[in-house]
Amino acid sequence: MTPKERLAELARAKGSSLASLSRMLGRNSTYLQQYISKGSPRKLEEEDRRKLARFFGVSEVELGAAQENSYEMDRDWIDVPRLAVETSAGPGAANGEELVFDAFRFSHKWLREQGLEPAKLSAVRVIGDSMEPLLREGDDLLVDLSPKAFRDGIYVVRMDDNLLVKRVASQGGGRFSLLSQNLAYPPISVEGSDFAIVGRVVWKSGRL
């Protein structure tokens, strides 16, 4: 498999568009599409290749680097993309285009210890107060997008084209409760078909 084919495969698996990845690199939105389909540029710039390797959690060698030029720190650290969307801890945030604008860097060893797959992680920001004091407006959330058997916990969910962050609990019989930490917000009882789980919240950052 060529580096171009591997990049296209990684983007598909991650669910990231080539345009958004190009913008993450600070390039024109057609940069990676032209690289893959037209061979222009002939190969990725070293810094672009390094950023993409960290983003996908793979070795630079897979994206065209010579074996001796593959950096040790690429195996030690993973850049998890921060998406330009907000997930609401209130009435609901409209689900806009998921553009990568930044990244959080995590220890590859720590992610492995947590059982987290780097390619299946994204970070989003909280708006609203319904999850206070657990989650506050402005907190950034690390979201595990990998499909796993459901268990009660904090999730980012999509409902009626809105993104919410809630504690999700099974009621049995195919029904679920979407619960807020802030008692001013009543529980929401829904059928499983009324919402979709985007991913489980596994970590948060925020100011003290």
pLDDT tens profile 74-94: 457 888 888 767 777 655 555
* Percent with pLDDT over 90 in the chain: 49
The CATH number linked to 195 is: 2.10.109.10
Residues 28 and 84 in one domain: no
CA 66 to chain centre: 29
Cα distances (angstroms) measured from residue 134 to each of 5, 139, 181, 187, 208 = 42, 10, 7, 16, 12
Q: Which of 30-39, 91-100, 175-184 has the lowest mean pLDDT?
A: 91-100
* Domain ranges, residue 29: 3-70
**Is 153 within 8 Å of 201 (Cβ atoms)?**
yes
Distance CA 203, CA 142 (A): 5
* pTM of the entire predicted model: 0.65
And the tokens for 102? 């930044």
Tell me: the pLDDT tens digits for 12-62?
Answer: 888 889 999 999 899 999 999 999 998 888 889 988 998 898 888 787 888
Give the pLDDT mean for 158-181: 93
Domain count, the chain: 2
Residues 129 and 44 in one domain: no
25/113 same-domain check: no
Mean pLDDT (whole number) for 115-130: 89
Q: What is the mean pLDDT of residues 156-180?
A: 93
The strand pairing partners of 106, in sequence order, are 78
pLDDT for res 71? 40
64 shares its domain with 99: no
Q: Which of 29, 55, 40, 28 is nearest to 4 (CA)?
A: 40
CATH of the domain at 25: 1.10.260.40
Q: How confident is the model at residue 97 (pLDDT cuts 50, 70, 90)?
A: low
Question: Same domain, yes or no, for 20 and 113?
Answer: no
Q: Any residues with CB less than 8 A from the CB of 104 and at least 6 apart, and which?
A: 79, 80, 82, 123, 140, 142, 205
Cα distances (Å, whole numbers) of residue 187 to 23, 31, 129: 39, 46, 14
* Average pLDDT of the chain, as a whole number: 86
Domain shared by 156 and 198, yes or no: yes
* 89 and 24 both lie in a single domain: no
pLDDT at 95 over 60: no
From residue 38, alpha-carbon distances to 7, 78, 192 in Å are 14, 29, 44
Identify which of 17, 92, 98, 3 has the alpha carbon closest to the alpha carbon of residue 53.
Answer: 3
Question: Which parts of the chain are beta strand (E)?
Answer: 77-88, 93-94, 100-107, 121-127, 140-144, 153-159, 162-172, 175-179, 188-191, 196-205
Average pLDDT over residues 117-136: 90
Q: What is the pLDDT of residue 157?
A: 94
Q: Are residues 41 and 83 part of one domain?
A: no
Q: Do 59 and 82 belong to one domain? A: no
Q: Indicate whether 21 and 120 sit together in one domain.
A: no
Whether 41 and 142 map to the same domain: the answer is no
Residue 197 scores a pLDDT above 90: yes
d(CA 118, CA 55): 8
pLDDT band at residue 69 using 50, 70 and 90 as cut-offs: very low
Handedness of CA 183, 191, 127, 167 (dihedral sign): positive
Percent of the chain with pLDDT over 70: 88
